[in-house]
Amino acid sequence: MKLVKIHNSSTLDFYSADVSAELALPLASSEIAAGFPSPADDHLELKLDLNRALVRHPNATFYGRVKGYSMVDAGIGEGDLLVIDKSLEPKEGDIAVCFLDGEFTVKRIGRQDGGLCLLPANEGFEPIPVTGESDFQVWGVVTYVIHKTR
């Protein structure tokens, strides 16, 4: 997966999705227990290509690197890499990259007081109402979050 930076803003850096290269990585053939350990699988016979697994619409998919902490309770933190699909129709409850009044932001799409609202996932941030006067566009729907653990 090769990333080419195409735009940066105060809240997100955007990259194009180059899925022309194939990179098949070993995949454990059994599930990995997040609770109690299970007997290990000695054979890694399956292959997984992250380009194929994460990108369904290559011409409409971009990556964004997160700046800020407004979505930490949704598992999205500073430096995380978002897979963003512009071809998907946004729905209430989706986490999306939105363009609002000249700025990009990643928030959950919701309703509040009967109107459209961008909902952060951090108590330190307020919901952002979208009004008829807002310059607003859902830029793309976040389909995956790649979170560095170390």
Instruction: Give residue-wise pLDDT tens across range 18-41.
Output: 777 776 767 666 666 677 666 655
The CA distance from 81 to 63, in Å, is: 7
Taking only the tens place, the pLDDT of each residue in 37-72 is: 666 555 566 788 888 888 899 889 999 999 999 999
**What amino acid positions are annotated as catalytic residues?**
70, 107
Confidence of residue 109 (pLDDT cuts 50, 70, 90): very high
